[in-house]
Amino acid sequence: DAGVIQSPRHEVTEMGQEVTLRCKPISGHDYLFWYRQTMMRGLELLIYFNNNVPIDDSGMPEDRFSAKMPNASFSTLKIQPSEPRDSAVYFCASSTGTGRLGYYGYTFGSGTRLTVV
Amino acid sequence: QKEVEQNSGPLSVPEGAIASLNCTYSDRGSQSFFWYRQYSGKSPELIMFIYSNGDKEDGRFTAQLNKASQYVSLLIRDSQPSDSATYLCAVNPRRNRDDKIIFGKGTRLHILP
């Protein structure tokens, strides 16, 4: 398995531009999570999906952020318009969810380092 | 109170010694607990998970859970320079069967050769 695949690895954009981050989860994983990581705030959960349906988007900072999962193998996180404070590493992760013994944790993608200038 | 708290470090440990990393959590109903390792510039990788009170050992790693004290720890025996990384404690609160994981900010561990 190729693992969780994210693209692009690096993105530099100007303030006000639209940014789209992409994620392909591990095949068979029915949960997909978007996290943002900064030095100040650590890893913050933005939104997660179960079977392509958004379950909890309470971490999405504001209306400039949106996420979609049109099918089981693809998700996008869009920022429009982007601002310098959106600069961070954005991680996608997937999992099989809760098993009989509890929760088995996630597998993370390599992340997208976003810089908004 | 933050949901998952860790000392940010850095924690410096001589090579070959035991490294002890600690974490506290606020939600008493939490069910599942995880330790992730993150090398600089890389993504977090799962190294241990624990559900029951007590110790769980995997090679040089031991996770310890005390639900009464709301405390999780990770011990790394025979520390190696390759263990130098940030260690993230994570908790699945399981509120309303929620499947998300809440992460602490991590403890930076530096193994001194």
Residue-wise pLDDT for A8-55, tens only, equals 999 999 999 999 999 999 998 889 999 999 999 999 999 999 999 999
Question: Cβ contact (<8 Å) for A45 and B98?
Answer: no
Contact B4, B102 (CB under 8 A): yes
Provide the token pair at B6.
Answer: 């860790």
A69 token code pair: 């999962």
Helix/strand/coil (H, E, C) string of B21-66?
Answer: EEEEECCCCCCEEEEEEECCCCCCEEEEEECCCEEEEECCEEEEEE
The band of B29, judged by pLDDT with boundaries at 50, 70 and 90, is: confident
Residue pLDDT, tens place only, B86-113: 999 999 876 656 677 889 999 999 999 9
Taking the Cβ of residue A34 and every Cβ of chain B, the question of whether any pair is shorter than 8 Å is answered with: no
- The pLDDT of residue A98 is above 70: no
Instruction: Give the Cα separation of B3 and B100 in Å (integer).
Output: 13
Instruction: Using a CB–CB cutoff of 8 Å, tell me whether A90 touches chain B.
Output: no
Chain A residue with Cα closest to B51: A102
Q: Work out the minimum CA distance from A87 to partner chain B, whole angstroms.
A: 15
